[in-house]
Amino acid sequence: MSKEMTRRAMLAAAGAGAALGAAAQDAPPAEEKILIIGVSGSPRKGKTTATAMAAALEAAKGVDPRITTELVDLGGMKIAGSDGTSSSAGSAPDDFDAILPLLKSPNLGGLLIGSPCYFRSLSSLCKAFLERLAVLREPELLLADVPVGALAVGSYRNGGQELVIEQILTAMLCHEAMLVGGKPRAHQGATLWNAHKDDIAQDELGMESARLLGVRVAGAAVKLAASKK
């Protein structure tokens, strides 16, 4: 009996057969997984940007069984902007270093980047994160052809959401990434209005735009994966 069969038999005997069952059998092989990472660029952990990003990722997951997602909430992290070199850093190690291995995953299929609107621009934390992505440009363009979509949340209905999205996507052009927009009513990406004291779920249109962005990025990632076969 193979080692795996022995393990299965033991789990079944322990009454864990059902747990092992369908999920494990349906899981795609590791190399076929398509990873979609969603980055929330608000300094406030778990607030509106992170909530909207989580919804986008959840929707992305529904596109294809091979899709796995990771939410990277920059809230509470210390990330310095680039020190002007194209290598990783900041002058000292910081929280970006912990995120880097995930961003370098060979399974990376798509990237979603979100920021709150701060004075009609992106947050300094999100900007610092984008600058530090320089390490993924040289010596090799690791994000080339990766579908990237953007999401922005503001407390005003017209608080600069589209400008923030444009700034994020413009930065990603430097990586030769594939920029992905949204769907009708939010063609540029996901635009959300925090009009209910951080209860962003009440912005139904905005949350829908987040979900549709997740679906768009995931759809593009799946098409690209097929083209690589």
**Which residues lie near ligand FMN (CB under 6 A)?**
42, 44, 47-49, 116-120, 153-156, 159-160, 194, 198
Write down the least CB distance from residue 200 to ligand FMN, Å.
Answer: 7
Write down the least CB distance from residue 115 to ligand FMN, Å.
Answer: 8
Collapse the DSSP code of 115 into the 3-class scheme (helix H, G, I; strand E, B; otherwise coil) and give the result: strand
Residue number, 163 or 224, with CB nearest to ligand FMN:
163
**Gap between the Cα atoms of 96 and 106, Å rounded:** 18
**Gap between the Cα atoms of 102 and 144, Å rounded:** 16
Residue number, 48 or 209, with CB nearest to ligand FMN:
48
**Gap between the Cα atoms of 202 and 211, Å rounded:** 14
Residue number, 125 or 225, with CB nearest to ligand FMN:
125
Residue number, 134 or 186, with CB nearest to ligand FMN:
186
Write down the least CB distance from residue 41 to ligand FMN, Å.
Answer: 8
Write down the least CB distance from residue 125 to ligand FMN, Å.
Answer: 10
Q: At what angle do helices 48-61 and 204-227 cross, to 10 degrees?
A: 40
Write down the least CB distance from residue 206 to ligand FMN, Å.
Answer: 10
Burial class (CB within 10 angstroms; exposed 0-12, middle 13-18, buried 19+) of 8: middle
Write down the least CB distance from residue 208 to ligand FMN, Å.
Answer: 17
Residue number, 97 or 166, with CB nearest to ligand FMN:
166
Residue number, 48 or 82, with CB nearest to ligand FMN:
48
- Which of 24, 49, 67 has its CA nearest to residue 126? 49
Question: How far, in Å, are 33, 36, 131, 179 from residue 216 at the CA level?
Answer: 17, 11, 25, 11
Write down the least CB distance from residue 210 to ligand FMN, Å.
Answer: 12
Residue nearest to ligand FMN (CB): 159
DSSP states along 35-92 = EEEEEE--SSTTSHHHHHHHHHHHHHHTT-TTEEEEEEE-TT---PPP-SSSSS-SSS
Residue number, 44 or 137, with CB nearest to ligand FMN:
44
